[in-house]
Amino acid sequence: MTPNKEDYIKAIYEHGGESDVVTNKSLVKALSVSAASVTEMNGRLLKEGLLTHTPYQGVRLTPEGLQIAHKLIRKHRLWEVFLSEKLGYDWNEVHADADLLEHASSDALIERLDLFLGEPQYDPHGGVIPNKDGTTEKMDHTPLVEIKTGTHFVIKEVNDQQEFLEYLLHKNVQLGNEYVLKEIEPYEGPLTLQSTEGLETIISHKAAFKILVKIVS
């Protein structure tokens, strides 16, 4: 399978294509390609049995397509762990090189990489690494935007978009940090987080949608 096809399958998965229909418009934006290119690739993947198509709505991955997506995600996230832990990349730097490496990695190499890294369960952004058989452990995490003031929580996963990760670095917000949600400004205003040391951090309402947390008592 070509890297181009793999990128399409992964983009469909990342936009909810495991259980929901993904529109052509979403894929055009995600992949920075033309609408005609998306239509053409969808046709190829449909013929290969990797997608189903709902007229005027979009596409969804078949079980075969989902298996390929999980394998790609596994490769990508293991390389992200390697780049972060062994080569000292910051979490906002790992994505681009992991994208290149995932396409050039055999299954045998990935399994050796997994063992070398100690069989990690999460990537540097908190994303679950699929198992070798393609299964993925479900996490019971809550979007930060959904919790109430006074709630104590630990940051468990963040969106891996580079610009957003740089924003979090600037705010010194990292995985494993524990906070209490001290204040939410009305009308979708910013949120004030207070660390266990008493330091306050203000993040935007938009950012709170991209942070998943585990509530602690």
Q: Of the candidates 200, 201, 204, which has an alpha carbon nearest to the alpha carbon of residue 188? A: 204
Q: Of the candidates 79, 126, 68, which has an alpha carbon nearest to the alpha carbon of residue 102? A: 79
Q: Look-up: residue for tokens 């009308």?
A: 187
Q: Which residues contact 91 (CB under 8 A, 6 or more apart)?
A: 84, 124, 125, 160, 165, 169
Residue 137: pLDDT over 90: no
Give the pLDDT confidence of 148-175 residue by residue, as tens digits. Answer: 999 999 999 999 888 999 999 999 999 9
* 183: in domain: yes
Residues of the chain with pLDDT > 90, as a percent, come to: 89
Q: Please identify, among 11, 44, 61, the residue that sits at the C-terminal boundary of a domain.
A: 61
Q: Please identify, among 61, 79, 98, the residue that sits at the C-terminal boundary of a domain.
A: 61
* 75: in domain: no
* 150: in domain: yes
Give the pLDDT confidence of 63-102 residue by residue, as tens digits. Answer: 999 999 999 999 999 999 999 999 999 999 999 999 999 9
Q: For position 203, which CATH number holds? A: 2.30.30.90
Q: Kindly tell me the burial class for residue 170, based on how many C-beta atoms sit within 10 Å of its own C-beta (0-12, 13-18, 19 or more).
A: exposed
Contact 112, 163 (CB under 8 A): no
Kindly give the interhelix angle for 94-103 and 3-14, rounded to the nearest 10 degrees. Answer: 130
Residue 217: pLDDT over 80: no
Give the pLDDT confidence of 17-32 residue by residue, as tens digits. Answer: 988 999 999 999 999 9
pLDDT of residue 214: 96
What's the domain count of the chain? 2
Q: Of the candidates 207, 211, 180, which has an alpha carbon nearest to the alpha carbon of residue 193? A: 180
- Which domain covers residue 168, as residue numbers? 142-216
* 136: in domain: no
pLDDT of residue 136: 81
Q: Please identify, among 11, 40, 61, the residue that sits at the C-terminal boundary of a domain.
A: 61
* 101: in domain: no
Q: For position 19, which CATH number holds? A: 1.10.10.10
